[in-house]
Amino acid sequence: MEHIISSLFEVSLWKSVLVFLATVLSDTLWAMYIRRTNLGKALSASSLSAVIVLTAGVVAIEYVNNNWYLIPAALGAFVGTYITIKFDNRQKPTIEEKEYKLTRV
């Protein structure tokens, strides 16, 4: 129990922000990686895969040393996925928009 409490006091704000941002980046890249893989773009997907491993490695090194860094990592994963899906959905026309275009032809 003492170890858990003492590790809480060793949490750095700078490292927490770094872990958060690295996880946001990693999750965003995962979404892009999945899309590139589905499109059969091997070079693009493999490049993204390498960057994902590097950013995930930075995060893993930090939270292995102090488990409290899992909190900003989890928040970063949530934010990264949320932003990516919201941005992606904003670019796609809705079903109603597609139907409207079809009826106008």
| Mean pLDDT calculated for residue range 56-70 | 87
pLDDT tens digit sequence for 2-41: 555 555 568 888 999 999 999 999 999 998 899 899 999 9
Phi/psi of residue 47, each to 5°? -65, -45
Phi/psi of residue 10, each to 5°? -95, 10
pLDDT value at residue 98: 61
Nearest one of 30, 34, 32 to 22, comparing CA atoms = 30
pLDDT tens digit sequence for 41-59: 999 999 999 999 999 998 8
- Asked if residue 15 lies in contact with residue 67, where contact means CB atoms within 8 angstroms, the answer is no
